[in-house]
Structure formats: structure tokens, C-alpha cells
Amino acid sequence: MTDAHDTDLKKDLSATLHARRELGPEYESELADSFLEKLDQRIDGAVERRLRRGMAEQQMQVARGARRSKGSDSWGERFGFGIVSLVLAIPLSAIGGTFAGMTGLIATWIGIVGVNAAQAVRLNPGLFRGAGRDRED
């Protein structure tokens, strides 16, 4: 199917170049716009087909019950997130401290802690909700 699209695209380009030779440079911009519009439509079509295929595959996985379980996040993923968070904290702290002093530094670290807390809640949805319930039982 890709070969047929490539052949059609080559034909369109060849026709555009031929028309440019016949019509002259005064129509060059219109011809280029026309060709680019056709190319854009082909790209949009290809992207749309890929998105539909991806969505269909995802729906099939959900239908088959292949969703990741709650505890299936790997240790490496959590460790990597923590490392990236700390590595980014260094320049963010410098920027926040330089431009806004202690207030900027505090705001930066509140953001860093917030992002890590959101990640922890995403991985463990009941993390902060049930903290006191275990002690009451």
C-alpha cells in the first residue's frame, strides 16, 4: 500500500513540475501550495490511520483484560522517576533561587515534592487516604 502511495505522490510531483514548466514561474507559488496541500492530506490520512489502529489495539488489550495491574509498575520505573526528579531539582533550584531568592527556592521545592507526591498517588491510589484507618482496626 505504501508503494502505491509513493507512486501517486511521485506522479503528483511530476505533474506539478511539468505544470510549472508550462505555466512559468508566476504560478510557482500556487502549484507549490497545491502540491503541499495534497501532501498534507496524505500525511493527515496516514496519521489518522495510525491513531485508529493504535486505539483499536488499545481497546483490544482492555477487552482482553491485559491492563496493567495496580502493582505492575517496575522498581526501575520508580527509581528512574526519582533520579530524574533529583537531577532536575538542581538546575530548577538554582533558577528559582537566583530569580526569586528564598521564595523561589521554596516554590521550586514545593513543586518538586508535589510532582513526586502525584506520581506516588498515581502508583498507589490509596496511599494518603487510608493512612489512619490501619491504626484504628
Domain ranges of the chain: 2-63, 75-127
Q: Are 9 and 39 in contact (CB under 8 A)?
A: yes
- pLDDT of 71 over the 60 cut: no
- pLDDT of 77 over the 90 cut: no
Contacts 24+ apart (CB under 8 A), 109-115: 112/85, 112/88, 115/85
Residue indicated by cell numbers 507549490: 32
Residue indicated by cell numbers 489502529: 53
In this prediction the pTM is: 0.42
CA end-to-end span of the chain: 64
Among 12-26, 33-47, 97-111, top mean pLDDT goes to: 97-111
Q: Is the dihedral of CA 95, 101, 104, 109 positive or negative?
A: positive
